[in-house]
Structure 1
Amino acid sequence: MSTRTRPGWLEKPKPVTQAGKALALATVVLLVCVPFLVIVSTSLASQREVVDNGGWVLWPQEPTLKAYRDILDGGIVTHALGVSVVVTVIGTLLSLSCTALLAYALARPHVVGGRPALLLILFTFLFPPGIIPNFLLVKELGLLNSYASLVLPVMINVFNLVVLRGFFQGIPEELHEAAKLDGAGDWRVLWTVVLPLSKAALAVVGLFYAVAYWNSWFYASLYLESDRWPLQQVLRTYVVAGSGLTDTTAGDGAVTAPQTIQMAVLVIATVPILMVYPFLQKYFTKGVLTGAIKS
């Protein structure tokens, strides 16, 4: 009489295995949370605490928002923050709209020129243009020192396009046919049938675009002058290049340490994405997996 063994993934984990997983998870959490706690704590610390602790503070005894008031008091960081917000919102809306339209066209069967267009798009994904051709193109289009240079050259991302196209292909053809029988055209089918069923994929792609626009600094350094930089380029100047990091003294004589200014700018640049992600997390896995499987 033969005994059937259960697959390994169906077996109940041993206590040693569970303890190892818990230890590994706790280690990862500490590696992620402790540096972020140090950043936030240092941004709230006073000059004396920063000096006494060698530049880094784990838990401030006298928390203060002076660093945030200094950098948001109508200076370069305030302007850069506004630039980043506008570029991220407008860029994400434009990119998501154009990507959805193109993905829907490429997902429909028997579209004239659909296959060659898809191959051409995938070719640009495998062989992207270099920095110099990009710069020359932006210059010839008259986009230098214009915020459009941060959006138009990267408006459609091929990976996001493939994800949306795969998701659209997974929608049953019967729904398209039923809508066509009711007299709906392609635009109405896209608006009333396809997009409402694709909220997961749209949320994921929108998050990808928003993060890319928000974190973009390289193109700003190429195309924009310093007075038009977004927040991430200003952050790089503050933290990496060390420019403008002399001690800041307010009218009351209080001094803000350069490390505190650095960490405050870093917090301002990080928190917006951290606040958006939890609302889209439930769509993340579903949207990516569905689009990737179908593509």
Structure 2
Amino acid sequence: MVKGASALTRQTKGDRMFDWLNYTVLAVILLIIIYPLLFVISASVSDPQLVNSGKMWLWPKGITFLGYEKVFQNKEILSGYLNTILYTVLGTSINLFMTILAAFPLSRKDLAGRNIVMALFVFTMFFSGGLIPSYLLVKKLGMLNTMWALIIPNAVSIWNIIIVRTFFQHSIPNEIQEAAAIDGISDFQMLWRIILPLSMPILAVMTLFYSVAHWNSYFNALIYLTDQKLFPLQLVLREILIQNQMDQMAGSSEAMTQQILYAQTIKYAVVIVANLPVLMLYPFLQKYFTKGVMIGAIKG
């Protein structure tokens, strides 16, 4: 019996070749993904002349932290970081709250007219008023040049509502909800005590989706904000790059060449400064991210 099981589990030559082919393809994909990241990290601390001449292609050469010095010499960097953290934490909290409150009732079969409501939600994914009406609405509501202009208009994502609703419908047994209803539990108690504890994977996915979107957002701040004290990190970094380009145009030809080289180093440093927090966050949510995406997307 054991010999038979061993024969069934023994890999054939074709199986081994298939595995090696998979490993080779995955290794190539890994190199394609990881090389740009390593290059940017190395270039941000390397001599810009060596980077520009192509002598630095993987590991740092002529190590210098000039790019980071230029970035952090700007006093607005700290305030930009604090603003972005505030916008990300507060915005993500509101996003999760609104998404859950919309997805839970839409996942209930006893909600009358839920298909109509869902159709109206989906309609907004394809048709919107456009930038000018949105700006006029934000201005009319008195949110112009306030942090709420970056949070309230993006308080919920219809696509994320669909994902969370699908998770509630197909990953949480309906019998559990029926048993809780028989015991006399209210809908809010059911959501808080039963649904949410069973939905940690999809909540982790939504947290990552929303937080990354808030962290990387700069266009709304560019449109709605004029007070530099409210600028998020991305907009502050954009201002640094623009200022550096203006300095290039104002100098002599020799100084301009040097400024161009420095600008490249500053750009690489800016990329690292802007993305490091997200890169540090993702590994802690990876297992929930993978599980939540698969569960939320298997069934429609």
Higher helix share: 2
Q: Which residues in structure 2 correspond to 1:201-212 (within 5 Å)?
A: 201-212=202-213
2:45 maps to 44
Cα deviation, 1:52-111, whole Å, max 9, x if unaligned, reads 442774433453445434433461222222211111111011101110111111111222
The equivalent position to 1:259 in structure 2, one of 258, 264, 273, is 264
Task: Tell me how far apart the structure 1 counterparts of residues 50 and 175 of structure 2 sit (CA, whole Å).
Answer: 70
2:36 maps to 35
Q: 1:203 deviation in Å?
A: 0.8
1:141 maps to 141
Task: Tell me how far apart the structure 2 counterparts of residues 30 and 60 of structure 1 sit (CA, whole Å).
Answer: 18
Cα deviation, 1:26-69, whole Å, max 9, x if unaligned, reads 33222222221221122223xxx222442774433453445434
Contact 1:55 1:259 in 2 (8 A): no
Q: Residues 12, 279 of structure 1: CA spacing in aligned structure 2 closer, same or farther, 3 A cutoff?
A: farther
Task: Tell me how far apart the structure 1 counterparts of residues 51 and 122 of structure 2 sit (CA, whole Å).
Answer: 52
Name segments (4+ residues, structure 1) moved above 4 Å. 10-20
Q: Is 1:272 aligned with 2:277?
A: yes
Contact 1:235 1:266 in 2 (8 A): no
Task: Tell me how far apart the structure 1 counterparts of residues 212 and 41 of structure 2 sit (CA, whole Å).
Answer: 21
Task: Tell me how far apart the structure 1 counterparts of residues 243 and 22 of structure 2 sit (CA, whole Å).
Answer: 44
Q: Residues 68, 173 of structure 1: CA spacing in aligned structure 2 closer, same or farther, 3 A cutoff?
A: same
2:290 maps to 285
Contact 2:66 2:265 in 1 (8 A): no
Q: 1:148 deviation in Å?
A: 0.9
Cα deviation, 1:129-154, whole Å, max 9, x if unaligned, reads 32222112112111111111111111
Cα deviation, 1:170-192, whole Å, max 9, x if unaligned, reads 21122112222333211111011
2:195 maps to 194
Q: Residues 66, 169 of structure 1: CA spacing in aligned structure 2 closer, same or farther, 3 A cutoff?
A: same
Q: Which residues in structure 2 correspond to 1:141-180 (within 5 Å)?
A: 141-170=141-170, 171-180=172-181
5+ unaligned residues in a row in structure 1: which ranges?
Answer: 1-9, 248-254
5+ unaligned residues in a row in structure 2: which ranges?
Answer: 1-10, 249-258
The equivalent position to 2:232 in structure 1, one of 230, 233, 237, is 230
Q: Which amino acid aligns with 1:44?
A: V
Q: Which residues in structure 2 correspond to 1:88-103 (within 5 Å)?
A: 88-103=88-103
Contact 1:238 1:262 in 2 (8 A): no
1:125 maps to 125
Contact 1:100 1:161 in 2 (8 A): yes
TM-score (norm 2): 0.81
Q: 1:11 deviation in Å?
A: 7.9
Q: Residues 69, 209 of structure 1: CA spacing in aligned structure 2 closer, same or farther, 3 A cutoff?
A: same
